[in-house]
Structures are given as C-alpha cells and as structure tokens.
Amino acid sequence: MKKMVILTVAESKRLIAKGVAAMPEVKKAMKDGMVVVATGTTNSYVLEELWGKKIDKRRYRSGITTPNVPEKDPTPQEEPIPDVVFRNGEVVKELNRFNAVNEMKKGDVYLKGANALDYKNRMAGTLIGGPTGGTVGATIGQIVGKKIHLIIPVGLEKLVYEDINELHRLAASEDYDGPSLWPLTGTIVTEIEALKILTGAKATLVASGGIAGAEGAVRLILEGTDEQVDAAVKLVESIKGEPRYLL
C-alpha cells in the first residue's frame, strides 16, 4: 500500500520528537542512564515528549532564524528554562548541556539539533557563532571519546544539496563574515526515521513547500503493509494542527 501525507514544519517537529522518545537507546538511557537535551526549537518538542508535559517552547531554544518582522505569540514569555539533563528519568538541576558530559558514560544519550542536513551522506551541520565552538565545541570530544549516543533530531526542511564537509570549508573561508558550520555525524532522526520507528512504514520525500503556514512543509509517500501505512496515516492525523512556533 502507498499513501501520501503532508506535514508542516511544526507537525514535523512533533513527529520527530515522538520518534526520538521511542528510540530504544533513548528509552534505556531515560530508565537507567543519562540523557542531555540541548536547547533548540526541535529539541523543545523532544523535551516535551521526554518530560511528559507541555512547556512554552520559546523558553528552550538557542540561535534562531526569523524574518525581519517575525510573527509573535501575544502571551508574555517567561525566563528561559535551564538546560534539562535527565539521570534515571529525573532532572538533575546542577547539570547542564556543557558539564553533563563529565559524568556521562557509554550508552548515554546526547540530543543536539542541526541547521543543515546532508541526508545522502548521513551528515548534519550546526551553525557556530562563537569563537569557542558553542555547545558542540565544548562537548564533542567526550561524546566521541566515551561513545555517547549523539542523536540529531532534524527536519527535512533543512536539507542542503552540497556535501556538509564542503559547506564547512566554504564557511571557514577567511574572507567570509558569518557563522561557521560544524559537521556532525551521529544518529540522524528526520520525519522518515520517526515514521519507521513508530509504525514500520517507509517514507520517501517527494515534494516540499507551501504557503499560508505550510512554508517548509514536506510531502511524504508512505509504503508498507496495510497495517503499517494505516498506522502512519493515523499518527500523522493525530498531530495535525500542531501550532506554529511563534516568538
């Protein structure tokens, strides 16, 4: 059976978050290990799924891309939520996304979003605005050295057509004035992986874009058994209407 579904950017973020929360390595680390949820717009949805409660997602973000006059939520925004680090399912308030790696071990999970996705080569890229390398610069050594699971939740809206390594070199040019791009390898989770994890259905990106709130939307063709495809369609229907992320 084959069917098509459409996901807006916000719906994709919700789907990806559900997929990440259902990953065996994440469930295991939430039960008897450590999970770091680095700040970011997609990770704010992941945090809701792991925490089991709604938050003002504006309070859990890092760098953002907006138009000159962004749309705003009229509700006043409270102070940012401190970095959330789970140990055995409980929040460890004294730890953050930087120092948590000192206490993490093999099999633990570090969740970090991305700004660019080279899906063909299974690589992602994150923009770096500071001279010390941001979150990645402060943690990647121990993530790699300790064999911590680096999971990268990222939507298909962030697809790029060049090799991430080439984009990294371009953004590293001395005559370029702008953020650097740090190549990342890890377990990439897009809408495609989330649907596979949650329903077993295979998803293929066939078209993108839209208007009136569907900018960045993706069209996916689902394939699988009748049960798998029906489950995937029902899952997408259950998250339809996810509110747009406003400032």
In whole angstroms, how large is the CA radius of gyration of the chain?
A: 18
Q: What percent of the chain has pLDDT over 70?
A: 100
| Per-residue confidence (pLDDT) for residue 53, from 0 to 100 | 96
| Per-residue confidence (pLDDT) for residue 73, from 0 to 100 | 94
Q: What percent of the chain has pLDDT over 90?
A: 98
Task: Identify the band that residue 166 occupies on the pLDDT scale cut at 50, 70 and 90.
Answer: very high
Query: How far is residue 48 from each of residues 7, 17, 153, measured CA to CA in Å?
Result: 19, 8, 14
| Per-residue confidence (pLDDT) for residue 149, from 0 to 100 | 98
Q: What is the pLDDT of residues 180-221, one digit of tens each?
A: 999 999 999 999 999 999 999 999 999 999 999 999 999 999
Please, are residues 20 and 26 in contact by the beta-carbon 8 Å criterion? yes
Q: Which domain holds residue 37?
A: 2-61+80-238
Intra-chain end-to-end CA distance of the chain, in Å: 40
Query: How far is residue 55 from each of residues 47, 183, 199, 209, measured CA to CA in Å?
Result: 9, 30, 26, 28
Total domain count, the chain: 1
Structural domain includes residue 67:
no
Nearest-CA neighbor of 244 among 215, 219, 209, 218? 215
| Per-residue confidence (pLDDT) for residue 205, from 0 to 100 | 98
Structural domain includes residue 164:
yes
Q: Which residues pair with 125 in a beta bridge?
A: 116, 183
Nearest-CA neighbor of 186 among 156, 142, 159, 147? 147
Q: Which residues pair with 35 in a beta bridge?
A: 86, 109
Phi, psi dihedral angles at 153 (to 5 degrees): -75, 120
Give the burial class of 246: count Cβ atoms within 10 A of its Cβ; 0-12 exposed, 13-18 middle, 19 or more buried. middle
| Per-residue confidence (pLDDT) for residue 241, from 0 to 100 | 97
23 is written with which tokens? 């990953």
Please give the angle made by the CA atoms of 146, 30 and 101, to the nearest 5 degrees.
30
Structural domain includes residue 73:
no
Structural domain includes residue 74:
no
Q: What is the pLDDT of residues 113-138, one digit of tens each?
A: 999 999 999 999 999 988 999 999 99
**Can you tell me whether residue 170 is helix, strand or coil?**
helix
| Per-residue confidence (pLDDT) for residue 101, from 0 to 100 | 98
- Average confidence (pLDDT) over 168-182: 97
For residue 21, the domain's CATH number is 3.40.50
- Average confidence (pLDDT) over 53-60: 97
Structural domain includes residue 245:
no
- Average confidence (pLDDT) over 153-160: 98
- Calpha distance 4→177 (Å, rounded): 42
Structural domain includes residue 194:
yes
How far is Cα of residue 34 from the mean position of the Cα atoms in its chain? 18
Give the burial class of 92: count Cβ atoms within 10 A of its Cβ; 0-12 exposed, 13-18 middle, 19 or more buried. middle
Give the burial class of 206: count Cβ atoms within 10 A of its Cβ; 0-12 exposed, 13-18 middle, 19 or more buried. exposed
Nearest-CA neighbor of 80 among 50, 96, 57? 57
- Average confidence (pLDDT) over 151-165: 98
Q: Has residue 165 got a pLDDT over 90?
A: yes
Structural domain includes residue 20:
yes
Structural domain includes residue 114:
yes
Return the residue matching tokens 């798998």.
228
Q: Has residue 145 got a pLDDT over 90?
A: yes
Q: Has residue 63 got a pLDDT over 90?
A: no
